[in-house]
Amino acid sequence: MSYCINPECPSRQNADDAMVCQTCGTDLVLQGRERIARPLVPHDPRRPSALYETMDGQKVLKVLKWQEEKYVELFEREALTLQDLEHPRILKGYGLFKFITAQNEELLCFFMDKVPGQNLAQWIQENKRPSERFVLRCLRQILDILGYLHGEGFLHRDIKPDNVMITPDRDFFLIDFGSVQDIYKARTRIISDGYTAPEQVNQRSTPKSDLYALGRTVLHLATGFHPTLLERDKKSNKLFWYKKTRRFSRASRIFIDKLLAEYPSDRPNSAFIALNEITPSKLIWKWANSPIGLSFTTLTIIFGLAAMILQNAFLNDEYIKKVYSEAQSELVKSDYDKAKESLRSIIFINQLRFREESKHYNDLGIVYYKERDFVRAEENFRKSIDIKSDLISVAISHYHMARIYEETGDFEDAALEYSKAFVMIEKDSIYYFVIVNRYARLLILYEKDFNEALKISKDAFFALKNSEFSDSNIDIALINKNIGWALLEKRDIESAISYLLTATEARPDDATAYCLLAQTINVEGFQFQDLTWWKECASQENVDGLPETQIWQQQANRYLSR
């Protein structure tokens, strides 16, 4: 369908190959190449502009409907600003142009890139309160955008959930630059109730006004309540919001409160300073607070190494290979302190050589993960993912990120990270079966996507038969268990029992498959009197420490005690 952008046209849908609107005669091909498929938001006569999606789904067209001078000025400024800005989370604009309708009405327009997803206001309506990690991710990414925007001399002036986009990959974009203005000329009043800083209401916008609006936006995200609906302390005027969120750390609460400060002098001095408060510094002289967690002793060693490096003592790859081999050996032996020292040394040397590798950060993240230091573990996994020097390490980093999220109860993000690891890992990798089994389990248990769990588990089933790991009883048991579990949920009981029995044969000392078999007893048409599976469920060990198995074992004990 080709869509007519003439706001006065009474019937705007046309055939795909039509050149002009069959109702009003307006051209349907813009700038000689682009066709419009549909409006992105319903028509609203109260809004000065309209948004449309192009036929190929790659761009958005913004059209100014109102021709008053103040709206024209704001629209032109937005188009020119987006054309000049270069940031990965600001949609690229492609220049202002004029379009003439068949009735000779002049419309101001510009194209910009389109990203998949929804705005944060929609996300808040459709989802439960997010985790602290999710909120901090939003904060970091928008602060990074603001640091760039303010550095270019602009204020956004209208940050709110409607103007933040979130993609399926949990990346955040700042959108709608219709209120953008030069830092030194921001005197016009732009107000969004509940989000606008007090000084901006009084026509005195500064970069700190954007920080306040961001604080109010993440407050809405964290609590699910519009800021105007939250109670205030009568004396301090601070908002009561802590108990409306999932459990947040004290440091995060203090930081968000600083953004929400009524007086600009009490807020962080800049977006970059704020970002530094919630992101470990990457500067060498602040490494003591970085994700690699260097102590004073380690810093002394490292700066000594730096001096030797500058004298070309360790510039050869053989030294790196030797230390890395030692680090892996120390990791296998669970000598985590030595493993960390070795990996830190390698990372420091490679930073000086501008040759960082994902695998070193990934392995350091694994060390912290094993020590249950999830904060530093996650920072190192993210660094591994950002570097992308080899896909196996990146996939393993995504896998361990998923494990962290799963263990902290953030199952939605865990499923996302498992899915990223799954699409990256090769089937001949030993990690392939580990990733598939964890991902399938989450798809069944929390996502309720039994078909996808069944599909990836059956793919793994056939891949295992033809791999060097074909005699791995653990993989055989887990794959068959997940296939049986998915079939059980789909009520294909006979097939489920067959796979689950195979799982018990491969791993007879694990309770999980027995617990699933026991659940077939009371399914209609399968009335078994034999309590063997319930007994095995209750008596065998929960080898993998799975919470669902623990629940099933409690059910088995209650069932057997009747």
CA 46 to chain centre: 34
What burial letters (b/e) apply to 307-343, b meaning 16+ CB within 10 Å?
eebeeeebeeeeebeebbebbeebbeeeebeebbbbb
pLDDT at position 368, please?
92
Cβ(180)–Cβ(81) below 8 Å: yes
Distance in angstroms (rounded) separating the CA atoms of residues 301 and 401: 30
pLDDT at position 21, please?
95
The neighbour count for residue 530, using CB atoms within 10 Å, is: 8
Q: How is domain 118-279 classified at the CATH fold level?
A: Transferase(Phosphotransferase); domain 1 (1.10.510)
pLDDT at position 281, please?
36
Q: Bridge partners of 2?
A: 14
Q: Bridge partners of 100?
A: 106
The neighbour count for residue 213, using CB atoms within 10 Å, is: 26
Q: Where are the domains of the chain?
A: 2-113, 118-279, 283-314
Q: For residue 343, give the amino acid letter.
A: L
pLDDT at position 45, please?
80
pLDDT at position 272, please?
83
CATH number listed for the domain at residues 2-113: 3.30.200.20
Type and span of the H or E element at 298: helix 296-310
Cβ(419)–Cβ(411) below 8 Å: no
Which residue do the tokens 């813009």 mark? 30
pLDDT at position 282, please?
35
pLDDT at position 540, please?
93
pLDDT at position 287, please?
38
pLDDT means per 10 residues, the chain with 562 residues, are 91 93 94 91 84 92 91 91 91 93 93 93 92 90 92 91 93 91 71 90 87 96 92 78 81 89 88 76 36 51 54 61 89 90 87 84 93 87 90 93 84 88 87 92 90 93 86 90 94 92 94 91 55 90 90 87 76
pLDDT at position 132, please?
86
**How many CA within 13 A on the CB side of residue 112?**
25
pLDDT at position 513, please?
94
pLDDT at position 275, please?
85
pLDDT at position 280, please?
41
- Phi/psi for 380 (5° steps) reads -70, -40
Residue spans of beta strands (DSSP E) within 22-121: 29-30, 34-39, 49-54, 59-64, 93-100, 106-113, 118-119
The two structure tokens encoding residue 248: 């947040």
Same fold, 2-113 and 118-279: no
pTM (2 d.p.): 0.57
pLDDT at position 299, please?
54
pLDDT at position 151, please?
86
The two structure tokens encoding residue 465: 């038969």
